[in-house]
Amino acid sequence: MPLCSQVSVAILGATGAVGTELLKLLQSRNFPLSRLKLLASSRSAGRQVSFGGENLTVEALSEQAFDNVDLVLASAGGATSKVWAPKAVAKGAVVIDNSSAFRLDSKVPLVIPEVNPDTAVSHQGIIANPNCTTILMAMAVWPLHQVQPVQRIVAATYQSASGAGMRAMEEVKIQARAILQDEVPPTEIFPYPLAFNLFPHNSPLNEQGYCQEEMKMVNETRKIFGTPQLRVSATCIRVPVLRAHSEAINLEFAEPMPVTTAREVIANAPGVTLVEDWQANYFPMPMDASGCDQVLVGRIRQDLSHPCGLELWLSGDQIRKGAALNAVQIAELLVAKKSIKPAQALASY
Ligand code: A2P
């Protein structure tokens, strides 16, 4: 087996919003590919996609799809991953899964390379890419947490349509056109019109009234930080932005965290850019974060209601650092650590 210098990769969900970005990143970051396979549903089979000057043909997902594949980058939804990721592992591939299917499985590392890279090498075949809002929040909070332990996080999210996939982004544009022409906006992907509107994230609610997206922020942050007792509370809202999520985050530290220290920490943290022009009232915006690898953080200020509290605001590209970029960074980490393993060492799921 491989091959840590040249890797045979399959993208599962290659025609989707994240899959499309994965393709761009593998190319722009010169990922050491020996072969690239594009997999999607039978709807897309036969479609031609250009990659590095070549035309690749999209294949329908099948039992044979993972033959001779070292690494699968999966972004075709939880139900597809649940069934197909174990099959890929059984064939000897390592799967970096962008869905929520395995994130809280104790056998599965949940990895943000800037936060917990060392956990990646303990994988047993599947590595999970965290939820997008969780990644963006962790990128800003983790470096502060290294200086002064965070005891409580309260977050409100402003999530773009891209989180619900390519068809959802199209739906918002169609809805906007309809509303501007005084027509009733069609709804297919989202339960309500998102254009010129917003609504709480429509993932299923638990008995305490929290939706799945909010609970991902709670449970995944705890797992990634290695702090099972960390207090986290979130309110997730879908907003009529095409791409890039934003978040208002309130942090409570064990001791006061001076604003100047927090700014310095954020300014020097990997994968994060401090964006603050107080004169111009210019701070992170999803329009600036779209297509950007860095998470933009700013409006760092003292919480007036608590001596150990801090407020901050961020925008980050959900498709890039919130999904595809993080997955490719994990893949690069595995290549660097020679941690793409043969089948017999892998777990059954
Ligand atoms: P397809 O384009 O053929 O439907 P997005 O998150 O942007 O909606 O994209 C989802 C991706 O996952 C697409 O590439 C989609 O392929 C793929 N996909 C969805 N369901 C399946 C499935 N059952 N088997 C394989 N690929 C799937």
Residue pLDDT tens, the chain, 349 long: 343 469 999 999 999 999 999 999 999 999 999 999 999 999 999 999 999 889 999 999 998 999 999 999 999 999 999 999 999 999 999 999 999 999 999 999 999 999 999 999 999 999 999 999 999 999 999 999 999 999 999 999 999 999 999 999 999 999 999 999 999 999 999 999 999 999 999 999 999 999 999 999 999 999 999 999 999 999 999 999 999 999 999 999 999 999 999 999 999 999 999 999 999 999 999 999 999 999 999 999 999 999 999 999 999 999 999 999 999 999 999 999 988 865 445 677 8
- Protein residue closest via CA to atom 18 of ligand 1: 76
- Protein residue closest via CA to atom 6 of ligand 1: 165
Which distant-in-sequence residues (6+ apart) come within 8 Å of 294 by Cβ?
271, 272, 273, 316, 321
Which distant-in-sequence residues (6+ apart) come within 8 Å of 179 by Cβ?
185, 193, 195, 196
Domain ranges in the chain are 7-129+323-336, 133-318
Query: How far is the CA of 329 from the CAs of 3, 177, 213, 287, in angstroms?
Result: 18, 37, 23, 23
Q: Using most ligand atoms within 8 A of CB, pick from 11, 12, 15, 95 the residue to mutate for ligand 1.
A: 15
pTM flag (> 0.85): yes
Reply yes or no on whether 211 is catalytic: no
Query: What's the CA-to-centroid distance between 165 and ligand 1, angstroms?
Result: 9
Is the CATH number 3.30.70.270 carried by domain 133-318?
no
Strands 54-57 and 7-12: unpaired
Atom of ligand 1 nearest to the CA of 76: 12
What CATH number labels 7-129+323-336? 3.40.50.720
Within 6 Å (CB) of ligand 1, which residues are found? 13-17, 19, 40-41, 43-44, 61, 76-77, 80, 165-167
Reply yes or no on whether 132 is catalytic: yes
